[in-house]
A and B are shown apart, each in its own frame.
Chain A
């Protein structure tokens, strides 16, 4: 390195190394699973070895963890990349000799699956999914990557590593969805712990309820393995499923149970802290939460009508038809808006009207401080309010009218930041589509407009499935490897909300 570098990259990477060291702990879960099911456990042992060695090597770079804002960005971006790379190994080594149609020693595919997991996207390149084709251990690892990425790997690190207590706020800010962070308690580590405990508690509750449905005979398919698997990917708004037909494989009861948990996952977790502290109204008092639920309710109403009157759901008549339209309409709106990406029905067979409604939903995203992706409700809310303000000042040029959120006036710099982010997101989306179309054209792949748009919207917004080629029952496998790597990049930059990654690509970042 030359003398001009003004970033203490050693400090950043040594912390990334610390996180890699700890990654051995969740990796031991699929290892144990493999032993229980009598499957190949060597891949996980190898992965644990690699992450331990790499983590140890990186953490030796520096023993002083004094992180500034710059180092924080690098640490967060590098950690996500490093974790995704480690997560690639089980896919490459597992499933030799099974009936997999994937030629698995295929690095871009494995990296795509791993990044899609950690970023809670849920887009898959597995041509065939299910315990018939892959080991339980590998499928569980695939679910687990989403659970780790949901509330945030770095937030988890802040919760358990005492040396991150001071720089932790910077790191969480770089990783956590939405503008800015909210400290709930004086200590940042405690704040991180509160978030993770809430997340963990909801996960356990969902697993419990799902398995309960099987015990009461309301869901034949919901084995304990399935209950755990879906619990691990609902709360992070992930969307992976060990079932080939996603949530369509399960009964209506299961679908009704999963809906509220997706809504919770897309809610700002800081609001649950208010509930714990005995302020039951904190949810309803939060403007973003009202907006988030209001938008979903409106979209659901529209989609339900579209499904009921149109040919999307065959045989929808009478009361049962209303229930079915409402269930799939609600499930799909919530699943797409929160960026979970589960499918209760193969919406590839729906009318284009219904599909474009969902495409619109892909840009909304969950709340700030939730596990959802995409642009986030609070930003849309502020944009709507600032447009309203522009109209108002056209009529009253002298009016001074701050943009208010929850009764508090926002700084103009915050409003500007939200505008900038949203524009950047949309610009990146179009750039993503253009690059994807060019790359698909290069190899002569036929790609419909809606399919291309939805593939990029679903990867950058961490939604998962799109339409047509990349529909909920399809996979991203047909794309050329170059496109897959492009989408890996988009998932990464989308999960970290662009700036922490983008800033690393500027000269100014590396020079003073």
Chain B
């Protein structure tokens, strides 16, 4: 299909890049330099112009397009672009917004604002953080099959009981599949993806991707890091993400503490969050942190407006005794750096948004997508129909038809988990969660 992407920033480039192989992509941005760069970087048509302007949309060939994705850094531009596009042509529109205000409006009125799908970055980021807190030691978590299946990505610390064991030894959980092991090289980027066999040894420093039921993944998480259990959570920064995170934690029965230095904001947050202890203070005030028993905090989440502030607050909290630090990082190039100097997990709102958008744009009946590493692999949830290679066949047989680097991680039938074994026969209507390396991804998607 033909896709128009408005905004050539990090999200736009990432979305355009992942769509360019399969579809005709037109990217629109007001910044001529970005457009020039993109013309040579990706096989897309890059146009300089304002995506909310009718002329630009016409030039981009809106009438012939099937999908418009507005992902600039400006909520209003994104919404207006979608609205404008809707008046001109019959396209499906996706808008990325930060503010939950628009998200609420949209959620409460079907198809409002001319947006067919709204991706709220702040809320998604908060969800990501909340699921991380639920799984100690996980670097990345995604849920599938309406929450019954989880995929998690663990980095094995040297003192982890699992490090040094073979997969067969570590696999003490019924409802869990080891999908892949990512072996990082020195600078922390993934060098190769190993599809684990029973005799594969897990070494410290490896990243392990597992897929399974909630309970099994949580149990495995405890096996990886036995003494981690998060009850005491400190959120630094009462931004929209901080607020949403605290709210999600409240729903889980965790009573977080939330620090914000702005008196008015703190007042507002304390009124809105009944189960949260809101503190009006500066998160870099050591005395205050000691008074508040920072050394007893299991995890500190920093959601300030600036990446640098998040880094400082996170490192300081860890230095004073907090166990883990999760930081929100806007700038992609900082992620490795942050994780090297001591932040345990850096969560990128832009990546979260790109994942969500990619999920929407999958032509197939993919229900859900998680991107592993820097686009090296994906975990995809598919609802099986009669066209699929899986239909009515045992997994062992199907595996021969699929490219290398594909692992069936989990199956749900009528909302219930089914353990994927070689002889398991897949039926129409089942939801299958599959890990697939980027190289064979298109082929896999076509066959499922």
Contacts and interface: CB of A to CB of B under 8 A. Distances in A.
Interface of A: 69, 165-166, 168-170, 173, 181, 183, 185-189, 411
29 contacts: A69-B40, A165-B43, A166-B41, A166-B42, A166-B43, A168-B43, A169-B39, A169-B40, A169-B43, A170-B40, A173-B40, A181-B39, A183-B39, A183-B45, A183-B46, A185-B24, A185-B45, A186-B2, A186-B24, A186-B25, A186-B26, A186-B43, A186-B44, A186-B45, A187-B24, A187-B43, A188-B43, A189-B43, A411-B32
Contacts of B42: 166
Contacts of B45: 183, 185-186
A170 B43 CA distance: 11
A11 to B, nearest CB: 16
Interface string B39-72: 1111111100000000000000000000000000
A168 B39 CA distance: 10
A453 to B, nearest CB: 38
Nearest to B26: A186
Contacts of A69: 40
Nearest to A164: B43
A166 B39 CA distance: 9
A185 B44 CA distance: 8
A329 B418 CA distance: 84
B: contact size bracket: 10 to 19
Contacts of B43: 165-166, 168-169, 186-189
Interface string B11-35: 0000000000000111000001000
B92 to A, nearest CB: 17
Nearest to A411: B32
Nearest to A165: B43
A183 B38 CA distance: 12
Given A165-B43, A166-B43, A411-B32, 16 more contacts: A69-B40, A166-B42, A168-B43, A169-B39, A183-B39, A183-B45, A183-B46, A185-B24, A186-B24, A186-B26, A186-B43, A186-B44, A186-B45, A187-B43, A188-B43, A189-B43
Nearest to B33: A411
A176 to B, nearest CB: 13
Nearest to B47: A183
Contacts of B26: 186
A188 B46 CA distance: 11
- Which 4 residue pairs spanning A and B have beta carbons closest together? A186-B24, A186-B45, A165-B43, A169-B40
Contacts of A166: 41-43
Contacts of B25: 186
Contacts of B44: 186
Contacts of A188: 43
Contacts of A170: 40
Nearest to B45: A186
B50 to A, nearest CB: 15
B12 to A, nearest CB: 14
Contacts of B32: 411
Point out which of A69, A169, A170 has the most chain B C-beta atoms below 10 A from its C-beta.
A169
A407 to B, nearest CB: 13
Contacts of A183: 39, 45-46
Contacts of B46: 183
A186 B44 CA distance: 5
Contacts of A169: 39-40, 43
A166 B2 CA distance: 18
A186 B46 CA distance: 8
Nearest to B43: A165
A363 B67 CA distance: 47
Nearest to A68: B40
B441 to A, nearest CB: 17
A230 B40 CA distance: 36
Nearest to B21: A165
A69 B25 CA distance: 22
A166 B42 CA distance: 6
A50 B42 CA distance: 35
Nearest to B48: A408
Contacts of A187: 24, 43
A189 B44 CA distance: 10
Contacts of B41: 166
Residue in A69, A188, A189, A411 with the greatest tally of chain B CB atoms within 10 Å? A188
A360 to B, nearest CB: 34
A170 B41 CA distance: 9
Contacts of B39: 169, 181, 183
A427 to B, nearest CB: 28
B8 to A, nearest CB: 14
Nearest to A408: B48
Contacts of A185: 24, 45
A169 B26 CA distance: 15
A428 B354 CA distance: 50
B269 to A, nearest CB: 46
Contacts of B24: 185-187
A414 to B, nearest CB: 10
Nearest to A190: B24
Q: Of residues A166, A170, A181, which shows the largest number of chain B Cβ atoms within 10 Å of its Cβ?
A: A166
B199 to A, nearest CB: 31
For A170, A183, A186, A411, the residue with the greatest tally of chain B CB atoms inside 10 Å of its CB is A186
A189 B2 CA distance: 16
A74 to B, nearest CB: 16
A266 B293 CA distance: 78
Interface string B299-324: 00000000000000000000000000
Nearest to B24: A186
A169 B40 CA distance: 5
Nearest to A191: B45
B91 to A, nearest CB: 15
A236 B46 CA distance: 29
Which of B32, B43, B45 lies at the interface centre, i.e. has the most chain A CB atoms within 10 A of its CB?
Answer: B43
B10 to A, nearest CB: 19
A169 B24 CA distance: 15
A170 B42 CA distance: 11
A15 to B, nearest CB: 16
B63 to A, nearest CB: 12
Nearest to B4: A186
A169 B35 CA distance: 13
A194 to B, nearest CB: 12
Contacts of B40: 69, 169-170, 173
Nearest to B46: A183
A145 to B, nearest CB: 29
Contacts of A168: 43
A448 to B, nearest CB: 46
Contacts of A181: 39
A212 B211 CA distance: 71
Contacts of A189: 43
B381 to A, nearest CB: 29
A195 to B, nearest CB: 15
B154 to A, nearest CB: 31
A429 B85 CA distance: 52
Query: Among the interface residues B2, B25, B42, which one has the most CB atoms of the partner chain A within 10 A?
Result: B42
Nearest to B25: A186
A53 B202 CA distance: 47
B420 to A, nearest CB: 34
B405 to A, nearest CB: 18
A348 B163 CA distance: 87
B357 to A, nearest CB: 18
A303 B377 CA distance: 67
Contacts of A186: 2, 24-26, 43-45
